Structure 1
Amino acid sequence: MNAYEELRYMSDQGVATLVFNRPERLNAWTPTLERELRDALRAAQADESVRCIVLTGAGRAFCAGMDMEVLQRAPASPAATQEASDDDSQQRYGYFWDIDKPLIAAINGPASGVGLCLALFCDLRYVVADAKLSFPYARRGLAAEHGIAWLLPRLVGPMACADLLFTGRTFLGAEADQLGLARALPADGFLEHVQAQARDIAQLSSPRSVRVMKRQLLEARYQTLGQATRAADAAVAACRGTEDFKEGVAHFLEKRAPRFTGR
């Protein structure tokens, strides 16, 4: 595992935990942190012992958004460097969707701007109930970035999305729970609870099934019900001869813990 400057990587019981590690700056986003996160996700994807990935922040914050010192040094027209492809995986954080293992955002404290965008690209989101969250673009003279004007309304609905984006207001984790954006949990024992949920997925769910279902959820965004149903029928048929399907039946009948191989 590479030694990182602004990220910590830990792996235990099938769960890789990636920690944004700039607590003195509330884990504000930098190019270094971005490079290291991409590298760490690639490493977790390649590690067969890892079956679930948790993203969280060191100290009292998840990620306070772009480091303002970095933002001040940014070129006036950054859009000129953005990817020209319409392929989802080629977008700035679209590579999150290339990871075929569950990605869980453990929002342990304040999250704003790009920090909250990252969480939207994860499969599951848990948040401390009193964490302060915001999409502050309207209050910075910016537009909604990284495709979240497409993604956020699919999570919370068009009107709630417009409210959060147009006002740029701060809202709490408890409201994020009400909107369906994240599941709120008490601060006491927060990360331990999220990691326990991740271990349940890692140890009790078939890695192959989870890979297939993650792909189904992504593809269903662009499918009709008929297309999704036909794809599901083909996916279920393909499961029948797999090791994980046989083990899924065997451990249920034998009343024991599963020993899934992911094949």
Structure 2
Amino acid sequence: MAEYADITYAVHDRIATVALNRPAARNGYTIRMADELADAMDRADRAEDVRVVVLTGNGKDFSVGADLSQGGFDFDAETGPDPAWQEPAGRCSKRIFTMNKPVIAALRGASVGGGITITLSCDYRLASTDSKFGFVFVRRGIYPEGASAWFLPRLVGMGTALDWMVSGRVFGAEEALRAGLVHSVHEPDSVLDKAYELAREIAVTTSAVSVAVTRQLLYRMSTTDSPFPVHELDSRLIGGLGASKDAVEGVVSFLQKRPPEFGMRVDADLPPYLPWAEK
């Protein structure tokens, strides 16, 4: 998709900005938005001129969740979906999960239902003081989506996840910060600037290949039943550093007290033996 209807996509200074773009509908989530977000994340992940993605929303809200006025899902209600059908929020959250590039969500106003579950696989969530969050599914007689029942307890613990999901209550930025759902809270007009500030720091100071491997190590390996398979993999990674140009540059730039100039590419230089490479 070169152009989008429900989102916008732009790249500047190695940062891709993906913005929900239905402000008149408070960025209500649609099937088209779901597919456009998945496509945009794929586009950013494959672009070597992109180091970091900032996910945000145009207007005063990130997203109020599913736009119920847009009708049903993309299948016949009488016959139901075919076995390969994927619910819309998960189309975005799963693609973010598999990213090699870090994703920073800049949130303000309402982030409710699908408007919060699509961000749970982001690396950072920055909120504004006027942010409101809610996993409101039980209050609509529906179920959590976007694989949120997997992501949320890992972010905030099972007790808090149960409270938020079973009650379906709406809560503010300070509670989200205390629980670890968001990393920081800022004034509404500055939250996006803070996201770009963080994005620029990552883009300038880190190795793209190191970030890609580290991000997936945390997601894929932190839930193993022991540290042994993790140590087996990181031993292989560390053992291969002698052939890593980025590792040499990292040490030399540190000793020379200058910014690093990492040259390895995610599309060409990821270790071929990573266990998730074919998934």
Q: TM-score, normalised by structure 2?
A: 0.86
Aligned to 1:185: 185
Aligned to 1:88: none
Between 38-47 and 200-209, report the one with greater CA deviation. 38-47
CA distance in 2, matches of 1:78, 1:245: 55
Task: Spell out, residue by residue over 1:184-206, the C-alpha distance to the aligned partner (whole angstroms, 9 max, x if none).
Answer: 32224110111110111111101
SS of the residue aligned with 1:153?
Answer: helix
Letter in 1 for 2:197: A
Aligned to 1:26: 26
Letter in 2 for 1:135: F
Task: Spell out, residue by residue over 1:70-92, the C-alpha distance to the aligned partner (whole angstroms, 9 max, x if none).
Answer: 2x43465897446489xxxxx64
SS of the residue aligned with 1:149?
Answer: helix
CA distance in 2, matches of 1:16, 1:78: 39
1:11, distance to aligned residue in structure 2 (A): 1.2
CA contact under 8 A between 1:14 and 1:203: conserved in structure 2? no
CA distance in 1, matches of 2:238, 2:95: 26
Aligned pairs for 1:58-73 (under 5 A) are 58-70=58-70, 72-73=71-72
Summarize the Cα distance change of 1:254–1:21 in structure 2 as closer, same or farther, 3 Å threshold: same
Structure 1: segments with no counterpart, 5+ residues: 86-90
Letter in 1 for 2:115: G
The 4+ residue runs of structure 1 with deviation greater than 6 A are none
Aligned pairs for 1:202-241 (under 5 A) are 202-223=203-224, 224-241=226-243
1:131 aligns with 2:128: no
1:105 aligns with 2:105: yes
CA distance in 1, matches of 2:230, 2:67: 41
CA distance in 2, matches of 1:228, 1:137: 36
Between 116-125 and 214-223, report the one with greater CA deviation. 214-223
SS of the residue aligned with 2:100?
Answer: coil
Aligned to 2:250: 248
SS of the residue aligned with 1:181?
Answer: coil
1:109, distance to aligned residue in structure 2 (A): 2.2
Summarize the Cα distance change of 1:249–1:78 in structure 2 as closer, same or farther, 3 Å threshold: farther
1:123, distance to aligned residue in structure 2 (A): 1.7
1:233, distance to aligned residue in structure 2 (A): 1.6
CA distance in 2, matches of 1:198, 1:248: 19
Aligned partner of 1:262 among 254, 261, 264:
264
Summarize the Cα distance change of 1:133–1:155 in structure 2 as closer, same or farther, 3 Å threshold: same
Aligned to 2:202: 201
1:151, distance to aligned residue in structure 2 (A): 1.7
CA contact under 8 A between 1:53 and 1:198: conserved in structure 2? yes
SS of the residue aligned with 2:133?
Answer: strand
CA distance in 2, matches of 1:29, 1:23: 11
1:130, distance to aligned residue in structure 2 (A): 2.8
Summarize the Cα distance change of 1:79–1:202 in structure 2 as closer, same or farther, 3 Å threshold: farther
Identity of aligned residues (%): 33
Q: How many residues align?
A: 257
1:170, distance to aligned residue in structure 2 (A): 0.6
Q: TM-score, normalised by structure 1?
A: 0.91
Letter in 2 for 1:182: V
CA distance in 2, matches of 1:257, 1:17: 25
Summarize the Cα distance change of 1:159–1:2 in structure 2 as closer, same or farther, 3 Å threshold: same
Aligned to 1:122: 122
